[in-house]
Amino acid sequence: MYRVLTQDGARDLTAAELAAEPPSATGPSPAADLPAATALPATALHPLEDPDAPSATDAGDVRWAWDDTNRRYPNLLRAGERVARAHDLRLGRMILRHAPWARSTEVATAPPDNWDTLAPAPLTGVDAAEDALFSWGQPEPPALDVVRELRQQLAAVASSERPGPLRLLLAAESAGALVAAEMHHAGLPWRADVHDRILTEMVGPRPALGARPVRLEELADQVRTALDAPTLNPDSLPALHRALQNAGLPVRTTSKWELLEVDHPVVPPLVEYKRLARLLSANGWGWLDAWVRDGRFRAEYVVGGVVTGRWATSGGGALQLPKSVRGAVVADPGWVFVVADAAQLEPRVLAGLSQDVRMAAAGRGADLYQGIVDTGAVATREHAKIGMLGALYGGTTGVSAQVRPRLAAAFPDAFAHVEQAARTGERGEAVHTHLGRGSPVPGTDWRAAQGEAFGDEATQDDQSKARAATRAWGRFTRNFVVQGTAAEWALCWLASLRRRLWDLPTGDRCAAPEPLADRPHLVFFLHDEVIVHTPAMLAPAVVEAVRAAAAEAGTLLFGSFPISFPLSVTTVTAYGDAA
């Protein structure tokens, strides 16, 4: 049963009704020509195709369908309502527009409309929780026919070349949107006093606005002395570069790695200055003032914000929290964090993607890189790691290039898969993830450069630039299939974990006025890592749920293929203490 949120309110429709000819026909519906059986009712989905399948505690099997989770769900959460399942039509449209398996469907071929340009509402959009319960709070988007779009998307999935994976992808993406809204609602516990103490220990007390903290001023003075440049402002890159040149340092740029190759008394204080200045500008007192309220940091997640399907964030830099300030993330009294991250996620995903049984076998233990060493393919764990990362990213130099032939011989299926993705990209064609998310194709500039490189008046320079652009796009598509499929694994992990956390027996706690934040709940997600905030007593059950969810994610993507996804899990009171 779909609960479709239209501008007139919520309306319940069965999948069969959605697959039938729409009453207000503005032309033939693509769904009309489909046999009814091709549009599976939501209730008939095998649980393994649906990571947020209804659980024992869900009211029925309702799946909300709405234009934009960000626009609709936060107000439900404020009203104390938790939604079990959703179909986010904005996200669904983005995926189906570019999914190669749905290339010939109406959703993919129709001219652009308002759905294509619909920007997600900010999670922190509505300033007031004071909004009337059913005024949805934010300005209405342009006219959108929600029922029609849902019909078209369901029909597109059903008539696509691979309905099962695409259906899972849309369900997982939408579940991700629910998680993002819930994490924003609950917030990441953040102790401003601890953060302040960390900063003070590193740079001295908070200075007046615009002034440097004492430690930074000391380091700046040491830099000026070492370079004999008494008025140097080390924050000015051109000035710093000139001063380094004048002092005779052979550096091309002012970057840290280049400085570290030079032996000169200015290097230690300058590198330390840059480290602390960076921390202070990105996550100093200003950040604290702007982003932490009432003991919580509320990240603005952007689900599907990266082309590969990874999440992005806007504002606050939630996906770049430096390790040095993670000590300020402290659980509430009586509560703890369960911090879990997936070990070597991307190579494991590649093993599953390419059905490489040898690589899967190397990943049988907790450490895939050590497993590779144990096969005898390479001598050290470091070589295994650098070699695998090189294969995923398209590295062509150094150790990565050296060990590449040996790894390629040991794991031919995995290496052939990424090579194939690179070749496809170099031809300017799209690749796709395991569940069917399509990559963008290169723009007109890229194609023009390719064409001109073979023209009559092509110079050497034109040709080498074109070759470089070709290879760069190949590296992008090579990585896309792995990074994108890893993102899909992570979405399934999140969706499964979210359902399992809700199903945990919590005694009387869940009767509390805040249905989400008074029980174990997700508070942070970082590509292959999650944090659950939980009453300490329930931590062991949460650890079990996190592991079970990882196993389920592996099965959802790769069925019975024997690739495992081990986690490293710790239970801590401060994020900074996690391994």
Closer residue to DNA (CB): 148 or 242: 242
Residue 292 bridge partners (DSSP): 297
Does residue 262 touch DNA according to CB under 7 A?
A: no
* Closest approach of DNA to the CB of residue 361, in Å: 24
Cα separation, 220 vs 270, whole angstroms:
7
Closer residue to DNA (CB): 319 or 407: 319
Structure tokens at 428: 């300017």
Element (H, E) at 173: helix 163-186
Cα separation, 58 vs 21, whole angstroms:
30
Cα separation, 544 vs 524, whole angstroms:
18
**68, burial (CB in 10 Å: exposed 0-12, middle 13-18, buried 19+):** buried
Does residue 485 touch DNA according to CB under 7 A?
A: no
**Candidate residues 92, 304, 347, 390; the one interacting with DNA per rule CB under 7 A:** 390
Q: CA–CA distance from 535 to each of 115, 335, 510 (Å)?
A: 41, 4, 12
Does residue 310 touch DNA according to CB under 7 A?
A: yes
* Closest approach of DNA to the CB of residue 118, in Å: 17
**Candidate residues 226, 408, 510, 526; the one interacting with DNA per rule CB under 7 A:** 526
The dihedrals phi and psi of 413, each to the nearest 5 degrees, come to -65, -45
547 within 8 A of 567, measured Cβ to Cβ: yes
Closer residue to DNA (CB): 383 or 498: 383
Closer residue to DNA (CB): 174 or 477: 477
Does residue 316 touch DNA according to CB under 7 A?
A: yes
**Candidate residues 196, 529, 544, 577; the one interacting with DNA per rule CB under 7 A:** 529
Task: Please list the helix, strand and coil fractions of the chain in percent, rounded to the nearest 5, in that order.
Answer: 55, 10, 40
Cα separation, 415 vs 459, whole angstroms:
34
Q: CA–CA distance from 503 to each of 198, 413, 531 (Å)?
A: 38, 39, 18
Structure tokens at 557: 């993507």
* Closest approach of DNA to the CB of residue 336, in Å: 20
Q: Which of residues 216-235 bind DNA (CB under 7 A)?
A: 233, 235
SS3 readout for 89-100: HHHHHHHHHHCH
Does residue 305 touch DNA according to CB under 7 A?
A: yes
Q: Which of 99, 92, 88 is nearest to 2 (CA)?
A: 88
Size of the site for DNA (CB under 7 A): 61
Residue 338 bridge partners (DSSP): 532, 571
Closer residue to DNA (CB): 398 or 540: 398
Region from 133-141, 300-308, 413-421, 502-510 binding DNA, contact rule CB under 7 A: 300-308
Does residue 470 touch DNA according to CB under 7 A?
A: no
* Closest approach of DNA to the CB of residue 259, in Å: 7
Closer residue to DNA (CB): 442 or 520: 442
Region from 304-312, 349-357, 499-507, 534-542 binding DNA, contact rule CB under 7 A: 304-312
Q: Which of residues 83-142 bind DNA (CB under 7 A)?
A: none
Does residue 253 touch DNA according to CB under 7 A?
A: yes
Chain residues that interact with DNA, rule: CB under 7 A: 233, 235-239, 241, 253-257, 260, 274-275, 278-279, 281-282, 286-287, 302, 305-308, 310, 312-317, 319-324, 341, 386, 389-390, 393-400, 472, 475-476, 479-480, 483, 526-529
